[in-house]
Chain A
């Protein structure tokens, strides 16, 4: 158990819908990261938040957004869902910023868009 908690574990929704994935980082970790894992794209970095502020941005679509709340939990919002958005979405956390710190991953949220 990495200490990073993600909900829901599985989610099935229809195209055009919007979903929210939730992540609680390890106790004391200030940084939260979101990754998308799919068969064709592999593991793609989406976005990082550090103590409530956006820190780094990767290959995140405009239909997707995220935020980190004062209690340090984070949510990833996926809207206007398409079939190609079906993937495993990982949240990860680290104590401080990414450089020089180990990043621990949650168990992921399986999203299926039908």
Chain B
């Protein structure tokens, strides 16, 4: 079965700092990759997704992620964070035919200090 590892459980940054959240998955075949965000008290919202094609994908709110197949990674980036980016960020993967559903990492709690 696939698994997802997010390296940072808690990240604290100042406004305008650059962000990179690490995500690695374990599965040797075809994968669909996602980043979801969960703002305090709200549901999961899709930030961006990778199915195929250009490994650099752009999402909403200025976020982007790069799929590096050789490293089994799908890191999330944003050049300049805002206070409103404070949230929980989840990396997720669907492997192969999706028999195991969407598997999530443990999440990264991001706090942006004004």
Q: Give B83-114 as 1s and 0s: 1 = Cβ < 8 Å from A's Cβ atoms.
A: 00000001000101111111111110000000
**CB pair A108 B43 closer than 8 Å:** yes
A103 CA to B45 CA, complexed, in Å: 10
A43 CA to B92 CA, complexed, in Å: 10
A107 CA to B41 CA, complexed, in Å: 9
Q: Which of B31-59 contact A (CB under 8 A)?
A: 32, 34, 36, 42-46, 49, 51
How many Å from the CB of A46 to the closest CB on chain B? 9
A-B contact pairs, 12 of them (CB 8 A): A42-B107, A45-B101, A45-B103, A45-B104, A48-B101, A92-B44, A97-B97, A99-B32, A102-B46, A104-B46, A105-B36, A108-B43
A80 CA to B42 CA, complexed, in Å: 28
**CB pair B107 A106 closer than 8 Å:** no
Q: Does A14 contact B (CB under 8 A)?
A: no
**CB pair B42 A107 closer than 8 Å:** yes
Q: Does A98 contact B (CB under 8 A)?
A: yes
Count B interface residues, CB 8 Å.
24
**CB pair B42 A98 closer than 8 Å:** no
How many Å from the CB of A92 to the closest CB on chain B? 8
Q: Does A16 contact B (CB under 8 A)?
A: no
Residues of chain B with a CB closer than 8 A to A42's CB: 104-107
A83 CA to B95 CA, complexed, in Å: 33
| Other A-B pairs beyond A2-B45, A42-B106, A97-B97, 5, CB < 8 Å | A100-B32, A102-B34, A106-B43, A107-B42, A107-B43
A35, A90, A98, A106: the one contacting B94 at CB < 8 Å is A98
Residues of chain A with a CB closer than 8 A to B90's CB: 43
Q: Does A58 contact B (CB under 8 A)?
A: yes
Given contacts A2-B43, A90-B43, A106-B43, A99 and B102 within 8 Å (CB-CB): no
A33, A102, A105, A108: the one contacting B101 at CB < 8 Å is A33
How many Å from the CB of A26 to the closest CB on chain B? 13
How many Å from the CB of A32 to the closest CB on chain B? 11
A2, A35, A56: the one contacting B99 at CB < 8 Å is A56
